[in-house]
Amino acid sequence: MKTIIQILPEQVANQIAAGEVIQRPASAVKEMLENAIDAGADQITLLINDAGKELIQVIDNGCGMNTFDARMCFERHATSKIRKAEDLHSIHTMGFRGEALASIASVAQVELKTKLHDEETGTQIIIEGGKVTSHEACSTSSGSSLSVKNLFFNLPARRNFLKSNPVETRHIIEEYNRVALAYPNVSFKLMINGTETSQVKAGNMRHRICSLFGQAYDERLVPIDEDTRLIKISGYILKPEFARKTRGEQYFFVNNRFIKDAYLNHAILTGYKDLLSQGSYPSYFIHLSIDPANIDVNIHPTKHEIKFIDEKSIYAILRAAVKRSLGRFSVSPSLDFDVDPAIQIPLSKYKEKPVQPSITVNKNYNPFATSDLRKEKESPESWDSFYKDLNRSTKTAVEVQQKVDVSIEENIPLRAIGQYAGTYLIAQYGSNFIIGDQQMMHEKVLYESFLFHLEHQAASSQQSLFPNTIQLNVKQAETFKEINPYLKQVGFDVQDFGKNTIAIHGLPSLALNENSESLLLELIDDFEQSNIPNIQIKEKVARTLSKRFALKRGKILEKVEIESLLNELMNSPSPAIHPSGKLCYKQMTSDQLFNWIQSK
């Protein structure tokens, strides 16, 4: 009888497992760092070349292995942490399934040097594509040195799917940060392409956060501490005024294991209720200690997800702990019922006689007047100057593209009708009716302007009298190196001083009233968080900048401002198409509008 079911060869099985566990160089970094932690190391060095594609090396001073264990650690399901099924309910270590090293060795060229502390010689093992090519004694330091070279060398399709070096490097730095935050009592060093990028010494959690993300975090941190029979919570949350527009530094650790949990993240957000502006996200570094019997860490190949037995109780405890910490350190609004507010007189006004407040009445006020009192009064002149640079650059950009869009007709009269809900602009365009989203329209105008500067002509920069120096963290510094040439094209004058320090000398004209430090950090964060596939960096930068500087929904505009914006939009290529591919506005003929009304 012919059979069709067969057991996969060990090599194929390992490569399939590698597809689940080792998705990119950062995945290998995570597994290798966690193995060093499990070996009891208190000094760990991570070396990266070519974004981990050429070399990933982890050197530690852990316990090391004898020659037999050094060979066995590369076998699938070989582990020192599990002996029986019940052990899965009392896991305190990081790696336990015994898949990581076998998976890495099946898709890379691996060299392991390891030695026990009480031995004179160590062991060297070389493996290529899952096959052991050398196993011999060697001279090496106590602990282990694991080198992974040419990752995915035997899987070219997988290697081709890796992102650019800056993107892969950022993922590696993120894994490095997670492990370093989970173990502040361990010293870490990060070398990228031969340059020391980060070095953090053993200390407490506060010191570790400041070492990784900058000394400025010291005054932003609010301690959180709660100890119950179910769970112990410790760590830090950031003050509401330092909330970010992106989900940047948000770290949960359960028994020193980094996890992602949207449910617990929601508990944090509710703890900040009424303290955050719309669209802002708090940063936090929170450690949860819980009995391993009350969690399941074996539900995901990368172990980034955990199942809690009583997640509702943990949610309530975490939310209450956040509120309590914010209130305890006078971050959240509070009333002091022990003080009579009537006698709280400023010292400078103590001897002054109180003045009876006067009431003024506008006798000419007409509540039935048609003017909208909610409108913000801005002079048309300031609006025109705001668009001065855009007029010039957008028109030139249109000339470069030779106005190939057949949907745009020249010399068509445009008349603004008005604005609805501070969001939608309504206008008459020739004999047609237009209604569109003002933020998307403005983003389109700015996008074309920035794209023109990036592709054809650099924008001018408004120089500052005194440069603003900023200390970036490792991840931000890598992102800045990637986008700085493009920022220069649109009017940013920023100099790299080395050691993750930059100085801002000038800004684009659109950003003259902005806080230069906050602006640049926001742009870096937005660029890091934007996950748009198959898009060039210059287009990604143009999208990030246009989104940052565009008019927001809710901004009240005068008719002259609406017409100015719409004229700019109609002079751009494909004006109805937003950079995201969505429509900025809907255009209808009078007949279409009439038929639409009648159909309702």
pLDDT digits (tens, 9 = 90+) for 18-65: 656 788 999 999 999 999 998 999 999 999 999 999 999 999 999 999
Q: What is the distance between the alpha carbons of residues 134 and 163, in angstroms, rounded to a whole number?
A: 32
Q: What is the distance between the alpha carbons of residues 596 and 600, in angstroms, rounded to a whole number?
A: 7
Sign of the CA dihedral 536, 540, 541, 546? positive
Sign of the CA dihedral 367, 368, 373, 378? negative
Answer whether residue 91 shows pLDDT above 70.
no
Contact 321, 327 (CB under 8 A): no
Q: What is the dihedral of CA 98, 102, 107, 113, to 10 degrees?
A: 110
Give CA separation, 396 vs 392, 403, 443, 451, in Å: 6, 10, 18, 12
Q: What is the distance between the alpha carbons of residues 433 and 420, in angstroms, rounded to a whole number?
A: 14
**What is the average pLDDT value for the chain, to the nearest integer?**
81
Confidence of residue 11 (pLDDT cuts 50, 70, 90): low
Answer whether residue 373 shows pLDDT above 60.
no
Confidence of residue 403 (pLDDT cuts 50, 70, 90): very low
Q: Give mean pLDDT, residues 247-260.
A: 89
pLDDT at 73: 87
Q: What is the distance between the alpha carbons of residues 28 and 95, in angstroms, rounded to a whole number?
A: 12
Confidence of residue 337 (pLDDT cuts 50, 70, 90): very low
Confidence of residue 94 (pLDDT cuts 50, 70, 90): low
Contact 435, 426 (CB under 8 A): yes
Considering only CA atoms, which of 209, 217, 199, 312 is closest in space to residue 263? 312
Q: What is the distance between the alpha carbons of residues 255 and 271, in angstroms, rounded to a whole number?
A: 22
Each residue's pLDDT tens digit, 454-487 = 888 888 888 888 888 888 888 888 889 888 999 9
Answer whether residue 439 shows pLDDT above 70.
yes
Q: Give mean pLDDT, residues 226-237.
A: 94
Confidence of residue 348 (pLDDT cuts 50, 70, 90): very low
Q: Give mean pLDDT, residues 295-319.
A: 80
User: What are the extents of the domains in the chain?
Assistant: 10-203, 207-328, 374-600
Answer whether residue 408 shows pLDDT above 50.
no
Q: What is the DSSP letter of 220?
A: T
Answer whether residue 326 shows pLDDT above 60.
yes
Q: What is the distance between the alpha carbons of residues 270 and 264, in angstroms, rounded to a whole number?
A: 10
Sign of the CA dihedral 345, 347, 353, 359? negative
Q: Give mean pLDDT, residues 549-575.
A: 88
Confidence of residue 406 (pLDDT cuts 50, 70, 90): very low
Other residues' Cβ atoms within 10 Å of the Cβ of residue 542: 27
Packing angle of the helix pair 438-455, 388-400 (nearest 10 deg) = 60
Provide Rg for the chain, Cα atoms: 30
Confidence of residue 515 (pLDDT cuts 50, 70, 90): confident
Answer whether residue 241 shows pLDDT above 60.
yes
Residue of 20 and 224 predicted with greater confidence: 224
Q: Give mean pLDDT, residues 502-513.
A: 87
Residue of 80 and 199 predicted with greater confidence: 199
Class of domain 207-328: alpha beta
Q: Give mean pLDDT, residues 186-196.
A: 94
Answer whether residue 416 shows pLDDT above 90.
no
Paired sense of beta strands 284-289 and 250-254, if any = parallel
Considering only CA atoms, which of 274, 278, 293 is closest in space to residue 231? 293
Contacts of 476 (CB under 8 A, 6+ apart): 500, 521, 524, 525, 528
pLDDT at 227: 93
Other residues' Cβ atoms within 10 Å of the Cβ of residue 587: 17
User: One fold for both 10-203 and 207-328?
Assistant: no
Q: What is the CATH T-level fold of the domain 374-600, as seen in this structure?
A: Ribosomal Protein S8; Chain: A, domain 1 (3.30.1370)
Q: Which CATH number fits domain 10-203: 3.50.50.60, 3.40.50.720, 3.30.565.10, 3.30.70.20?
A: 3.30.565.10
What 3-state DSSP class applies to 203? coil
Tokens 């060697």: give the residue. 138
Structure tokens at 183: 């173990």
Confidence of residue 92 (pLDDT cuts 50, 70, 90): low
To the nearest whole percent, how much of the chain has pLDDT over 90? 36
β-partners of residue 426 are 418, 435
Answer whether residue 387 shows pLDDT above 80.
no
Q: What is the distance between the alpha carbons of residues 144 and 36, in angstroms, rounded to a whole number?
A: 8
Answer whether residue 226 shows pLDDT above 70.
yes
Confidence of residue 362 (pLDDT cuts 50, 70, 90): low
Q: Give mean pLDDT, residues 217-227.
A: 92
Answer whether residue 597 shows pLDDT above 50.
yes
Q: Where are the alpha helices (DSSP H) in 279-387?
A: 311-328, 380-386
Q: Name which of 86-100, 252-266, 351-365, 383-397 the model is least confident about.
A: 383-397
Confidence of residue 598 (pLDDT cuts 50, 70, 90): confident
Residue of 273 and 83 predicted with greater confidence: 273
Please return the burial class of 49, using the count of CB atoms within 10 Å of its CB with bins 0-12, 13-18 and 19+. Answer: middle
Per DSSP (E only), the strands in 430-537 are 432-437, 462-471, 493-498, 501-507
